[in-house]
Structure 1
């Protein structure tokens, strides 16, 4: 029996390997997408009416399908498809293995799993098509402890072709969306999502939407705008930090059940019992203390080195938050001045003033010189400009990261805090513990209903470290909520208002999120699903 089990797994791997050679390449799946346009209308109860406009050319297959990933309590219904004014017949059950004639002029919803469905319709014939697809999503906007909101992939990936034109438009006619009650982010593509003055949220890529890219929009709303039917007992910022994992995890779960079983205790120990930190760094695995003190002499790079290196597992290493923290330090110190971009409300323009940055270390000096190079003679740049530069000069950015790691290690060794990258000295462990203690302190401030107010004199330092921990936007939102007048005065001292300040925080976080991605991984960020043709 054991031998048959081994043979079965080998057969599975052999089948997968052969499938890699047998799957048609882009030239054989020669469909093209000239235009994909998505219009979403949000309702007070959190539901949404979504309409897709497709302009495509099809040369193979029997149907077109669009996967939709759903969170718990979400549902898709009321699918309609039409072409040239001809409405397709909606079937209760969609059968994939029917032929092209049987699928002609028909559409349906195929349930793959509880949280994964496909919108399907027959292509009818090969050549150009213009389809209008409409459906309803229940529970798109959900209620969280702190805000209402959603994180949704409106345009899926396409494994075989670029999309020549792609846009996502989101409206909420009865809700009154404004820059003071709504925050918008985008991911999965190079471009922006903006909240326009009329309350429309518009997302568009910079040019074409490449294959293997998607358009995901995340929106956060103040309480009282929506009254969602669905609620989740968590905080919205955690939704942004922990995006839905790739659906392929189920496949790997089946492949590695024996391995995962062996790791069960480690996961229980870390997730359930909370012992997720390296004892060799902090002196303990579970850290539930919280301190308001700034650790490690306030050094950003060193604190980042300890923070990211001190996890047993569970750290999000996709972002180099030290980038955003450093830019925020420069902005708060007047090294960079900020103004709103008149063309795009969700974007800021940064002006380098020439003021001495008072570099913390060689790494900061190199980063500043790179920023000057991006800005050029105008001494102006945007977060997008910085992201494009890092994409073109990836090796230089990688060298800067290595320099930061080496510099931090040298500083920590010189003060007898670390013996090696993963082992602290006995006297260094309490110093390192302060990093997580401050993170816990700021997290409590965000999550508590009636938190202790942050020391006004230390707001700059707290915000810089909150950016390092990836929660600066949420700390700002909390300050605006519980001390609006004081926070507005704080922003005025920096020659901003509270809306511009919040936009600036979002922009510098975006710089952290994408600065150290290679061009390929940048394109594939947030990849989950694809759409396209399917054979019978």
Structure 2
């Protein structure tokens, strides 16, 4: 009898699972939004969705009217051409009836923009419409706080938003201020436009809300608001991590000797305790990493399928890599490929000048991107000088910033797609799944192998691998000097190759220090401007009082 009951329960559960729609399998890997602001405060918005679907009949995109927003000129097209606009959209129509058609459905909150899936599998949809009265005219500024992407039934992996003036007038930190809320990513001024992009999938309640304040005269909005934009800003910044706008107030009374001693006792004592705790944690962390490395054994190949971005992400979360290691690894790769050559082969030459000899042949987009930055810094003579490079990186923060952020984002997203992360956060190796831990073990194994290189007598290893791949990973793991000693012990008769290795490490250290130092200083300098609207990292919290928004997805 018990067996019969068990069979019935299993059959019932199977029936439920079979009847459940497989919408979770559908996904939107990329979503691009282009917002062209018009002089009257309306915006022509173009969204491009890259999708992969296997269920449902239509996509829908909600937009709350917020009491003043209206949408016109809605159209949809895909890779096969434009869709036919249907006046009365029927959500209950069949898959075939919705194919190559689009329409607007009125709801109690506003409208939903709808279009047929038309064809399962991978598709690319272009959605266009005009959003009227987006920008409001306030007493002190013009602007908006708008939710461009709200919660959806799927999680967009990559979202990129561009805001520009339709007439070409540049949007810069001189005529507008910018903030963003609700997602893990950045918002920046770049080449006269505003760009915001995600660095992790928009999941778990994430959204893309952007606030822009424009100087009077940039636009002439038709929507007039009897209030200040400062009040909009204050409401949006509530609950955000943009920080306080004012420094702490100090009274004007002079400090006495007692005040100084009291300050020292209150402040310095906890600081000393914290330093002792940090030192203890560092020591424990080193011991734990050494124990794990010895347990893992040797790994002789390039870890993580040769993806430096993945190796860096795993190395950072586990304490195996320093913050500047990734830039150094890419520089070393360009040098070892012969893309950068010294104008003087002497290792003692100061300053080290590097000539750009040829572009990367690896086919790696990050090698190409970094080479392009160096090419721009070198100028017409094609020769890099440390002082010249430092000035360029300080004055051209955005290209290097985008390169660094793109590398980090790529590594993290690769780990997410391959099932190596438990969620969207990677702050510690505890955030890794079992598969992620296996990927991390490859790095531990390679470090173990490189540290014991001479002891295990790996004389069968090809020299090309030793002088190129191994030294790049030794650099990213912070053991380049130790590998040099290992090679010298194992190959005492190969002095030219050893000297070459030393030169590569020297050149890389010099230029990595210059580039990353300039990048870090400029990043630190820009940090106080974040609350003031200068752009930077997005606040996950805050963004209240927004217009627009509305759920979307597949049904």
TM-score (norm 2): 0.45
Indicate the structure whose relative CO is greater, using CA pairs within 8 Å and at least 6 residues apart. Answer: 2
Based on CA coordinates, which of the two structures has the bigger radius of gyration?
2
